[in-house]
Amino acid sequence: MRLHGLKTMENYTLIITEKPDAAQRIASALDSQGKAKKIEDKGIPYYIAKRDKNIIVVPAIGHLYTVAGEKNERNHYPVFNFKWVPRYTAEKNAKQTRTWIEVISELSNNADMFIDACDYDIEGSIIGYCILKYACGNKDSISKRMKYSTLTKEELEKSYAEMLPHLDFALIEAGKTRHEIDWLYGINLSRALTIAAKNWSKRYATLSTGRVQGPTLRFIVTREKAIKSFVPTPYWCIRAEAEIDCSIFEAEYEKKRIETKREANSVIEACKGKSGQIDKIDVKKFQQMPPTPFDLGTLQSEAYSFFSYTPMRTLNIAQRLYLDALISYPRTSSQKLPPAINYEAILKNLNKFSEYKKLATELLAKPELKPNEGKKEDPAHPAIYPTGNLPEKALDNAERNIWDLIIRRFMATFGDPALRQSMKVSININGQRFYLRGIQTLEEGWLRFYKPYLRTEEVILPQMEEGQTIKIRKILLEDKFTKPLPRYNPSSLLKKMEEAEIGTKATRATIIQTVYERNYIRDERMVATDLGFEVFEILDKYCPTVVSIKLTRELEEKMNKIQTNNEKRENVLMEAVRILKPAVEKLKDNEKIIGEQLSNALKKAKLEERTVGICPICNKGNLVVLYSRKTGKRFAGCTNYFKGTCKTSFPLPQKGIIKSLRRNCRGCGWPTVQVRMKKRRPWTLCFNPKCPLKEEWRKTKIALQNM
């Protein structure tokens, strides 16, 4: 059925959603038979639901409109005049959005009621508002708003029945301001860097920074500087091996760190050959409260900790689970679970799953269901929770992991406090005091609900009495050195951004991903590259305001105040331009110097990106990815080839992306690379043709074929 076939239909309700999956679920939930009709026009899907009147539900594909300069000048800055335009006019890779806008615009012609049913947050509100204003001909002022946190049939029907009378204009104003300021920062600062490098080297390379990206890079570079300038200081630790009931236990010396070798030796001499006497046994029982429900940040942190999923990957997985109506809306900062979500109904549904049946039954038997909530609130959505729905299709391993984590966290919040006992035993060895520490769980409480994801430690000590003499087997002296703070990883950096209150729950993961993509940082334990250092040093030298964490946070606070009608959009925009304008002018005045610095850093970055590791044959040159002048094919070759001292080379796959892992093979110690191909999992390639791991794999393969 083509769109022109709807010309006879009039007086229908038009509902705008953010994504096709959401449109299908909303249409099915609102259709009186639960069977909405799918129609496609020019490849764009939409749905007709029949209720008391006809409803057409049409999706967007995220943002169909964006901010752009009033003049289409790509190689020019500063730029301070902007307007909202269709994405296809501003972005080369967004041509498909033109058709979506055309179809939505035609569908709006005969509608007599308009509803924004995009996700209830800043991004969703902006998406719906722009479509209703620009594609539907200024229908934003008469549109109603559906607000929901899950895509379950029950909640969608309730949301439709209890629609908000108008759009959330305060949220829209805050969203518009955020997009406009981010555009102003991004376009001006990124063009300043990119144009400076291009004018100097005559080669194009994408360089970027922005309102939040700059301060984020500051965290990494500052930590990297501290690590590189750190001078280790020696110290000593002493432990005693005590034999109790035929078992050996380690007791720590009362001073965890001894500053001089002389003091350490005197303790060792005093304890040599001596027995220990138990002076005091201190036993304490304490309650360990259940965890709080997941907000997006804590979900991302736990997923990184247990599955090594980056914050961006976790967000993408959670978004898919939300669109499949398996969990609530994930982009939330709330740690609250209101009774309105119906705890009992969710647990009864979870009771249908064999792996959760026993735990859900236990919770349903409680006289009262009350979650242990955290302090953080979000006016738009509750904490993340499972809907209790069955998956309609098979989940992949990653989806299953995140879903299981959310279910168990949800159940754990309703559990009883765990009762635990700590034991501290003071041992006197010839006047020197050592401590033996134990901890054990007496009553599991909530721990059994969250068991696969626990970090509790059990150290059970034998029965002892004060005054008891115990045998000391050894006194151990350990030389140690102080260590610098660890490098950030994606999870700890996201937590740092949260603490500094820069970025939003929805954008922080994307910013971290961008810093990686720009080659400003590398590795899971984030190392600032030469290019990352150079970009930060330039910004910090010529325009420190744009990488100031304090100013970025203050701007965030002002944008948040727009959302609560305590600040005006115009004032915040003027403040942003006031900070940005002199910064961009300073960059322009020093364009040649900056261009030279960036060009040199880019050259180093490209070489670093191509470097695989030390040549395993000559052990002097570097193995790098090269391209043959004759065939154009890529291979790995030693840099000493150009000096005529080493002819080592290895073939490489010609398809896919080659990425240096900067680590050697665990089987043979030779350099490795990662190969990434479309529709295939990334795989690791070791250059050693005689690697024992390859031989092992070959034998396994032959054995499987012969079975």
Strand partners, 432: 429
689 compared with 303, residue with greater pLDDT: 303
Residue with tokens 């249409």: 27
pLDDT (average), residues 429-448 = 95
Q: Which of 309, 329, 356, 542 is catalytic?
A: 329
**Pair of tokens at residue 220:** 């990494």
The pLDDT of residue 6 is: 56
Digit-coded pLDDT (tens) for 283-338: 999 999 999 999 999 999 999 999 999 999 999 999 999 999 999 999 999 999 99
The pLDDT of residue 606 is: 86
Mean pLDDT for all residues in the chain? 92
Residue with tokens 């805050």: 174
Asked if pLDDT for residue 434 goes beyond 50, the answer is yes
Smallest CA-to-CA distance from 164 within 111, 116, 113, 108 is with: 116
The pLDDT of residue 8 is: 58
Asked if pLDDT for residue 573 goes beyond 90, the answer is yes
Can you tell me the distance from the alpha carbon of 377 to that of 354, in angstroms, rounded to the nearest whole number? 33
Residue 610 pLDDT level (bands cut at 50, 70, 90) = confident
Within 10 angstroms of residue 228's Cβ, the number of other Cβ atoms is 9
Strand partners, 480: 235
Residue 427 three-state SS: strand
Q: DSSP H helical segments within 131-237, as ranges?
A: 153-161, 169-201, 213-229
105 compared with 678, residue with greater pLDDT: 105
Residue 382 three-state SS: coil
Asked if pLDDT for residue 591 goes beyond 50, the answer is yes
pLDDT (average), residues 578-595 = 94
Type of residue numbered 301: S
Distance of CA 128 to the CA centre of its chain: 25
Residue 700 pLDDT level (bands cut at 50, 70, 90) = low
The percent of residues in the chain predicted with pLDDT above 70, rounded, is: 98
705 compared with 157, residue with greater pLDDT: 157
| Predicted model pTM | 0.88
Digit-coded pLDDT (tens) for 210-246: 999 999 999 999 999 999 999 999 999 999 999 998 8
Burial class (CB in 10 A: 0-12, 13-18, 19+), 32: exposed
Residue 707 pLDDT level (bands cut at 50, 70, 90) = low
Smallest CA-to-CA distance from 468 within 280, 283, 284 is with: 280
Q: Is 627 a catalytic residue?
A: no
677 compared with 105, residue with greater pLDDT: 105
Residue 115 three-state SS: strand
**Pair of tokens at residue 623:** 């193995």
Can you tell me the distance from the alpha carbon of 395 to that of 205, in angstroms, rounded to the nearest whole number? 39
Cβ–Cβ under 8 Å, residues 625 and 658 = yes
Can you tell me the distance from the alpha carbon of 233 to that of 482, in angstroms, rounded to the nearest whole number? 5
pLDDT (average), residues 494-506 = 92
3-state helix, strand, coil in the chain (%, to 5): 45, 20, 35
The pLDDT of residue 534 is: 94
The CA-CA-CA angle for residues 565, 566, 567, to 5°, reads 95
DSSP string of 574-597?
HHHHHHHHHHHHHHHHTHHHHHHH
Asked if pLDDT for residue 658 goes beyond 90, the answer is no
Q: What are the structural domains, with CATH classification, of the chain?
A: 3-167 (3.40.50.140), 175-228+501-603 (1.10.460.10), 234-290+420-481 (2.70.20.10), 296-413 (1.10.290.10), 613-705 (no CATH)
Cβ–Cβ under 8 Å, residues 384 and 303 = no
